[in-house]
Amino acid sequence: MGLTLTEKILKAHIVDGSFEKGSEIGIHIDQTLTQDATGTMAYLEFEAMGIPRVKTERSVAYIDHNTLQNGFENADDHRFIGSVAKKHGIYFSRPGNGICHQVHLERFGVPGKTLIGSDSHTPTGGGLGMIAIGAGGLDVAVAMGGGAYYITYPKIVKVELVGKLRPWVSAKDVILEVLRRLSVKGGVGKVMEYVGEGVKTLSVPERATITNMGAELGATTSIFPSDEITLEFLRAQGRADVWSEQKADDDAVYDEELVVDLAALEPLAACPHSPDNVKSVEELGKMKIDQVCIGSCTNSSLLDMLKVAYILKGKTVAPNVSLAIAPGSKQVLNMLAENGALATMIAAGARVLESACGPCIGMGQSPNSAGISLRTFNRNFLGRSGTKDAQIYLVSPEVAALSAINGYLSDPTKLGDMPQFELPREFLVNDNMIEPPASEADAKDVEILRGPNIKPFPQTYPLSDKIECKVSLKVEDNITTDHIMPAGAKILPLRSNIPEISKHCFTVCDENFPARAKELGKSVIVGGANYGQGSSREHAALAPLYLGVKAVITKSFARIHAANLINAGILPLTFRDPADYDKISEGDDIILDDIFAAVEKGKMTLTTSRGEKITLLCAYTPRQIAILKAGGLLPYTKNQK
């Protein structure tokens, strides 16, 4: 029986555990990446481990999220990250060099390698044939120190692409179609592996768009084969030497299969407030819009930008629309400037932003009150844009550009014939904004630069055998990390200051939660299904930790957030019977007793103040139990030295 591509790469990197579905495995990590919204905490954690230099093949620190500097905090974080990178053997991509996933695809990704990043859209690297996984910052810190990264051995879904996309239908429509079929929970515990004749019709940037938004499925990662198209892309980047063929065996066996006929697809849009709330552009009709934003790690490649420029050429943005465009990297921006496409965008009335995440992470360009905004981004969660009553639709660059001109949601297939958009034979390569680290000999003289907003990792606590406290909050299904720990220009600069950022924890749901949790001293949170979906931000675990949260009890968890809770020493527990969710209310007193014995047998009893007994599941691995008993991954790792 042959192996899938996912199995081949995992098998080549496994260092702990057995090669069995559903079991926990530890894999060796070749590369890591961080970005500045998560990076400061990740490097504080790395420092706390006392390891002088990273042990990966390549680790890169990117500045791309917190680039709006309306106070000293972001600039201080950037300075801190730059000094840590220089001292500890990490490459530093300076502000303005571009979005981490776009730049990593261009300059660092290697087929067949493993990559974890403290950003949930790290699976973008799967477009090159990598196993690239989003993780919490502490997991990344451990990997930088040479430790294994642990995942549940995933189910592998064969996504067979047949046919070829029609003119003006795009890779964005492919992943929106998969989301429409599978939902934001459809990929949990799975890897999406793309195969079939249709793969050959997609460029590396198009493949990366699809793997990028696999994160919205809840998937562990997504991956394409590395083939001659991958080689062409790497050769154009001057990196042909890192290429290798990566593909599944012909007789590979998959756990599930899905067929997508590319020729049958039409332009799609994810409607508010979830990436899986997908309808066709035709079905939505000529909806008047207020704003269009083009960019993000999903759709900011040179190929995307060339299509946008073509549609905008000789036109003017509609009077009622604000159009913002953020090229994904300095390389893309330079090439647009050289070939005249940038001038076309400016002439049409686009507001050209720096090469950064920008509006996607709520860093500027918030829509007007109740505004309708079309965005080529990957998430449209409530309030993420910075305007709580805004209506955010996720669309392709082609839909976005044409709609900006018309002033209403528009179907680009009505444009007729499409020219052949091709990637250049040679990209403009200039890595002058990537700082290499100091040599080992010189590293001892590098000073770490810390600002007043940079606070230590919060104190964790060893597991107790009994938890007796109140329920401080009860929330519904599909709570995202944006609900738990909001993004945006006001809050993101506090990512390196857990005491301060905790004041905003869950304020999207209940503005009184931080004060209530702090006053209680210790408490538990109750949630619905798919709790913690979205970003990899470990702050969604660290802020509750600081506020005294001891356990989170839900119908089900998103993968990364459950891992982050364990890393922080917080118990993630699930109802054996989801109907028991209705038996607990905010403010209830609860008791969790005999916890040490319970975590060993995977089942725990919760007693309510009314005397009801509810069975909870806690299917932890021996390693996770040891982490919880130690008080989190950081003390556990230090104890292993």
Q: Catalogue the active-site residues.
A: 64-65, 119, 379, 535, 537
Residue 426 in contact with residue 240, Cβ under 8 Å?
A: no
Among the listed residues 83, 36, 26, the one whose alpha carbon sits nearest the alpha carbon of residue 64: 36
Q: Are 363 and 67 in contact (CB under 8 A)?
A: yes
Q: Which of 498, 393, 507, 399 is nearest to 453 (CA)?
A: 498
User: In angstroms, what CA-CA distances link 161 with 152, 210, 626?
Assistant: 27, 12, 43
Q: How far apart are CA 276 and CA 209, in angstroms?
A: 16
Alpha carbon distance 395, 372 (integer Å): 13
How many whole angstroms separate alpha carbon 631 and alpha carbon 279?
45
For residues 64 and 79, give the distance between their C-alpha atoms in angstroms, rounded to a whole number. Answer: 13
Residue 164 contacts by C-beta under 8 Å, 6 or more apart in sequence?
198, 201, 262, 263
Q: What pairing do the DSSP bridges indicate for beta strands 372-375 and 291-294?
A: parallel
Say whether the peptide bond before residue 13 is cis (omega within 30 degrees of 0): no
Distance CA 412, CA 418 (A): 10
Return the CA Rg of the chain.
23
Q: Is 450 helix (H, G, I), strand (E, B) or coil?
A: coil
| Spatial distance between the Cα atoms of 272 and 510, rounded to a whole number of angstroms | 21
Q: How far is Cα 367 from Cα 374, in angstroms, rounded to an integer?
A: 10
In this structure, the dihedral spanned by the alpha carbons of residues 26, 27, 30 and 34, taken in order and rounded to 10 degrees, is -50
Residue 232: is it exposed, middle or buried by C-beta count within 10 angstroms (0-12/13-18/19+)? Answer: middle
Contact of 64 with 36, CB cutoff 8 Å: yes
Tokens found for residue 361: 């992470």
